[in-house]
A and B are shown apart, each in its own frame.
Chain A
């Protein structure tokens, strides 16, 4: 059972925060980077994202789509050559973008991250238990012995066996390290947990265990969960809502049920059709040709146009507006118009297909 957080932990909000507002709300976020030769690259171009307590939101997209930049922006950890150009990030109503925002206060205590690549994200010369206890001691102000005890409980909670409680990161298996990273992330009982590709590079069985653990923690702690991944199966398993990202923009978002059963944006359709689905008996896969664009040299119009089978002249000239329908479904594609406000019928994008098993 949960030890320190949840039950006896009375959440003290940072000054200015409003318990009644949305947990985390990102709107119109634009982030750009200055390259070494002076050019500007817009990594994130007008993103909207929100999370409520105990809700799991997925952010899906290929590598280079800008997903990790969103994490950097929310945590205030962009590289020195990065900058938030526009938009707002609000934690319970607190503006995190404005100058003098209590970023340090919200880091880890309100919003925490489980990074990709646990071997790299953990300090190799410090015991894992100490890395968990560090935040408890230094951010929550608990005395050292208390912090150590809590760390022990947390590690136990996430499933680290007794004999490995004093281990160094390299002494743990990949799955154990990821659990440890989760313990580190939960050490200050945050309200929001962001998982940046938390299960990549783990084998399927371990992946399932980690996801189950994440889900359990979400329920126990009432966490708002943001799952960032390129693996749609993970999102299908874990999330209530999903946003699909392409080249810095969210092209489609809505409930997982809606999006996965009736994908409308051509990119979403390609993503969903790109993997064979043994359970559904599907043996053909859609082939998405080309590769993600160079963000420093984007052509005008829809970012996806060069690869889209439904693209026409207008798509190549004008940016498609993001339309919001009922049930919080959003869509950014010229093919779909607002109509009566109800989510429209999906248009099937004619991708070339490949049938498996046939030569």
Chain B
């Protein structure tokens, strides 16, 4: 693309299109971001309408095939220790892993973003205290904390609740991830808020007499949206990894198996010793591909933001 046309194209787009869409358009220019977006779209499709792709989720009772069959024409990914088709399980697992990942990220962003903005805006003792608390949470071992929180939360939430079609056990995981991951988001949002606080339009709002809450909501929040977006995508990737680990050790829901749960089943069935590599490969590759795709997009957005900041100066 020659130099002048690029300039004209982007300035035209910039004028017409709002921030978020512009980021999407600019992202699509990069080949690696394009592939990542395609992969994530495919996964989201699996997550939204798994039945359309592979039919209903196979359970222990509805499984018809023999156990631990290697991949073949009838079973593309092979079968698990109960004879369930692994392609079926993996596609259905997409929904659980993605929804739990997204929910956890949402919780993390809300808590982290909220605390970060308050800490950054208020400053002083409030800030110091909040950051001290954040530091404490940062060092807590996720794994053990999850084990401890799980039964507690189960008592609190009750066994039969369902949100977004996700049952209690998994909601516990959402809560645990949110509980342990909010602190790094809080730090990032806090530093961004600190720099925003000194800008003139915030000064003006303060002078006019708007309440701090109002200022934060009206002026600060809109400007950290993009930072939250970039951070959010990375948080989603991390949440998916954490969720898979927690499900692996048994905190997941056997009736709503995520990729991690499937791997936990593989471990219990001694799949590695039996050489049942398909049992291990399918869900694991799904996790890998999702996390890599999210990280690539997150990094790309980060770079775009950097460039934006530089141009604005």
Contacts and interface: CB of A to CB of B under 8 A. Distances in A.
Direct contact of A and B (CB under 8 A): yes
Interface of A: 37-39
Interface of B: 2-3, 6
A39 B2 CA distance: 9
Contacts of A38: 2-3
Contacts of A37: 2-3, 6
Of all A-B residue pairs in the complex, the 5 with the closest CB atoms, nearest first, are A37-B3, A39-B3, A38-B3, A37-B6, A37-B2
A160 to B, nearest CB: 38
Nearest to A37: B3
A199 to B, nearest CB: 29
A37 B2 CA distance: 7
A37 B6 CA distance: 10
Nearest to B6: A37
A25 to B, nearest CB: 37
Contacts of B3: 37-39
Nearest to A296: B3
Nearest to A39: B3
Contacts of B6: 37
A38 B3 CA distance: 8
A39 B4 CA distance: 11
A38 B2 CA distance: 8
A17 to B, nearest CB: 44
Contacts of A39: 3
A37 B7 CA distance: 11
5 contacts: A37-B2, A37-B3, A38-B2, A38-B3, A39-B3
A298 to B, nearest CB: 16
A33 to B, nearest CB: 15
A144 to B, nearest CB: 43
Nearest to A35: B3
A39 B1 CA distance: 12
Contacts of B2: 37-38
B174 to A, nearest CB: 44
B4 to A, nearest CB: 9
A35 to B, nearest CB: 8
A58 B3 CA distance: 37
